[in-house]
A and B are shown apart, each in its own frame.
Chain A
Amino acid sequence: MTQARTIDLPGRAVARPAGWKRYAVWIALAAILLLLPYVFGSRLALSTMSLMGTMIIFALSYNMLLGQTGLLSFGHAVFFGLGGFCAVHILNMAGAGGWPIPLPLFPLVGGLGGLFFGVLFGAVATRRAGTAFAMITLGIGELVVSSALILRRFFGGEEGITTDRTDVMGFLGYGFGPQIQVYYLIAAWCFLSIAAMYGITRTPFGRIANAVRDNPQRTAFIGYDTSRVRFISFSLSGLFAGVAGGLSVINFEIVNAAQMGAVESGTVVLMTYIGGVGNFAGPIIGAILITWLQLILSDATQIWPLYVGLLFIGMVMFAPGGIAGLLAMQAPVLAARQLHRVLPWYLLAAVPGIVAVIGLSILIETTHQFSIRAAYGPDLTLYYIPFSVTSPLPWITGLVLAAAGTWLFLRAARLARDAYDEAVAAGREG
């Protein structure tokens, strides 16, 4: 997918590829979504991919704010949750009343709910930008979550509201009982939403939103109402977050107030930023990566959020473009056919990097076992090596590996950077 932030330099503009090539990315995306269940067919894989699809929409909707309009929101899960609650209530009503609404339309119900609340809260929040906006969204998030415990009829208290997706009308003979059908429903909505959100970035409105992000004063000067642009972005992003919420309801058949909370809002910030905010595909990468990390890390360790948090801080400090940004940086190297010159340096940096991560994880896990899990005894098995956390050996090993790994990584990273600069320069000359 093309970069949302590229600036087309005069004279270097590439002619648009004609015919089907223009849609190659989309055809490939559709094909991948269609074929994935044939590659990963297990129950666990299907439900993971369903969750990933939902999270992709959610993260992309968040990036409409953070990446496209430059608005840092700390309460985005509110729209996900409220969209979900709208969908679940209508779903239950439709099931009880036998309304002729097929199940695949219910994400739209969630989307409309998200849009409604996006308009409502956006009217308050988007009057300001920057830090004040971030604070307001945080406040709105807390307001909604604490109201949820009072308005029990709508939010169902702590247990939430359950539903049964097979109660309502099916679609083309599909009842949506089996997970595979739900996967295809989510995949279809995921495709539609990605296309729609990408389309929005290409409209004049999308461009003006970028202008508001980059230089609000100047945008106001050429005659645009910046707070109205922010308001429209905010509402639209509420719409797509609501779609994701509706899909989550169909997938899990339950929604509760915790899904609107600060943790969920934080997760979408992490996903979007780690994936990369400057690139349309970034949040997609982030959503897939974080969902997958949550799955494998939560099996391996109890304190997995610490690793995700450290990854996030590392990204903010060293790679503000996120993973997508790092990948996009390789585009000029690829174009100049210089990849063979940088790849060895990347590998050289990767080795001490991995050593540092292993050392750090030894330190973290050993501390954890030593202080909290002391009741389970001092024995810990890490990387297939059993040891006792009361002996100084694991601490020293962890410390040495982490320190030496970091030091070597920083040196190798500098060399890799030089190699990259050289490759790009060589590409420019050639």
Chain B
Amino acid sequence: MLEIIFISTLNGILYGMLLFLMASGLTVIFSMMGVLNLAHASFYMLGAFFGFELTRRLGFWPALVLAPVLVGLVGMAVERYGLRRVHSHGHVAELLFTFGLTFVIKEVVEMVWGKLPADYRIPTSLDFPAFTLFSTNYPAFRLFVLLISIAIFVALLLVIKKTRVGLVVQAALTHPGMVGMLGHNVDRVFMLVFGVGVGLAAVAGVIAGPILITQSNMAGLLGPILFVVVVVGGLGSLGGALAASLLIGLVQTFAVAFNVSLADLFGSSAVGAVLSVWLSDIWRVTVAQVAPILPYLLLVLILIFRPRGLMGTRDT
């Protein structure tokens, strides 16, 4: 039991940090430009596939650096020539634009890499068990992923809080007009933030690709959960995004680890006899089977009881 709890906690934090790598970019882009980038998970997928392709040609370490940079450049081009153009048509048009982008990116990935999972493997230099706890070997690569995401989180925090660029970004979050008046090129800041944001998602893609499956439906699977994270955390709040990422990561991994159903809980009691008739469909469903629903259930509950999210400061 202790083993399950320990390993699940570690996996949950890992998954949560991966989510945060994406959610942080998403939420900063949102609070800055007011655009919820529906294609964010698609850039994550692009990162995974670029990482896969570059790993095949150059090796994992160059890929880890190059793939996010490439995706970041793609993101900047999208912002400069697409999003900025649509901006004048209003928010709905911007949302629709990023929505259309999810379609196009998915199809381009299928056009180049196909629909089957790519053979993206853990690099051999990291393919060994890091430590053994009780009877489980914990892979070094997972530990590496965890460390990378924490390192990026710390670096991001330092950049935003301590540097001049970070100050401009913070100021542009709330007062874009004023920042422009002071002589900063707000458009360029937006473009940069968009590029860095999707670049972070691509980092998540490169390092998560070997653990999760690198396939053309990965964006579709992860995207909705990502939006749950930013809504639950509070749109535009970095701290909220971190809390919600970890929460969802832990909830998902713990739910998968437990094989308990209503039948096990109420099995032989009198209540059980009544419930088994009325809830016949969900009577034998285990918590593990319910795991995919939990984030969305959480989303609906949060919206009913705390519409602005965990740490959100404003209603949209």
Contacts and interface: CB of A to CB of B under 8 A. Distances in A.
Contacts of A167: none
Contacts of A309: 100, 103-104, 107
B212 interface: no
Contacts of A312: 96, 100, 103
Nearest to B113: A371
A150 B282 contact: yes
A74 B111 contact: no
A317 B224 CA distance: 25
Contacts, number: 136
A128 B108 contact: no
Contact of B89 (A154, A310, A320): A320
B299 interface: yes
Contacts of B231: 132, 135-136, 139
A131 B293 contact: no
A142 B303 CA distance: 15
B121 to A, nearest CB: 20
Contacts of A70: 92
A36 interface: no
B285 A150 contact: yes
B235 A131 contact: yes
- Main SS of the interface on chain A? helix
A5 interface: no
Interface stretch (A200-208, A245-253, A300-308): A300-308
A70 B92 CA distance: 8
B272 interface: no
Contacts of B228: 135, 139
A377 interface: no
A309 B111 CA distance: 13
B297 A143 contact: yes
B108 A306 contact: yes
A266 B99 contact: yes
Interface string B94-133: 0111011101101110111110000000000000000000
B86 A143 contact: no
Contact of B112 (A140, A305, A316, A372): A372
Nearest to B104: A309
Given A124-B303, A138-B227, A131 B316 contact: yes
Given A124-B300, A124-B303, A128-B316, A153 B111 contact: no
B95 A146 contact: no
A135 B290 CA distance: 21
B86 A317 contact: yes
B85 interface: yes
A313 B293 contact: no
B30 to A, nearest CB: 8
Contacts of A308: 103
A364 B108 CA distance: 9
Contact of A146 (B91, B106, B292, B304): B292
Interface of A: 66, 70, 72, 74, 124, 127-128, 130-132, 134-136, 138-143, 146-147, 150-154, 262, 266, 269-270, 273, 303, 305-306, 308-310, 312-313, 316-317, 320, 364, 367-368, 371-372
13 contacts: A70-B92, A139-B300, A140-B296, A269-B99, A305-B103, A305-B107, A306-B104, A309-B103, A309-B107, A313-B97, A316-B97, A316-B100, A364-B111
Interface of B: 30, 36, 82, 85-86, 89, 91-93, 95-97, 99-101, 103-104, 106-108, 110-114, 220, 224, 227-228, 230-231, 235, 280-282, 285, 289-290, 292-293, 296-297, 299-300, 303-304, 307, 315-316
6 pairs of A and B residues whose beta carbons are closest in the complex: A309-B103, A306-B107, A143-B296, A313-B100, A139-B299, A309-B104
